[in-house]
Homo-oligomer: A and B are copies of this chain.
Amino acid sequence: MEIKQPETCRSGVETSLEIIVGKWKPIILLHLLHGGTKRFGELKRLLPDITQKMLTTQLRELEEQDIITRKVYPEVPPRVEYSVTEYGRGLYGILQQMYEWGLAHLEHMAKKKS
């Protein structure tokens, strides 16, 4: 980066944060990136503690940002599938770095305590 003007960088950083932050967004993204397309009910089962309402809103927000797509099949009973867009895969690098740094940080803090 080389931080020129903090205020300039700020908007970029906070835009990214807005996409990723949300109690369930990271884990939803990880599941979709890992397992590919998933139905609403599958995601619900993969995240036992999430409420339907929260799953819906988090998915809607990710969809609005073009990170995932929502495909509705006109069947009865209804079927809706979610998957990460090509564009959304651009978040992969960020998630990867956060994953790696985060694990290292957990170790760092564990060492510090002892």
Cβ-based interface call for A53 (8 A) = no
Residues of chain B lying within 8 A (CB to CB) of residue A106 = 11-12, 15
Q: Mark A13-42, 1 if CB is under 8 A from B, else 0.
A: 111110111000011001101110000000
Interface of A, helix, strand, loop or mixed by DSSP: helix
Cβ-based interface call for A77 (8 A) = no
The answer to whether B101 and A91 touch across the interface, beta carbons within 8 angstroms, is yes
The answer to whether A105 and B15 touch across the interface, beta carbons within 8 angstroms, is yes
* The one of B11, B31, B66, B95 that contacts A1, using a Cβ cutoff of 8 Å: B95
Cβ-based interface call for A72 (8 A) = no
Q: How far is the CA of A95 from the CA of B9 in the complex (A)?
A: 9
Q: How far is the CA of A95 from the CA of B13 in the complex (A)?
A: 6
Cβ-based interface call for A76 (8 A) = no
The answer to whether B3 and A102 touch across the interface, beta carbons within 8 angstroms, is no
Q: How far is the CA of A100 from the CA of B13 in the complex (A)?
A: 8
Closest 10 CB pairs of A and B: A15-B102, A12-B102, A12-B99, A16-B98, A6-B30, A16-B102, A1-B96, A3-B34, A12-B103, A13-B26
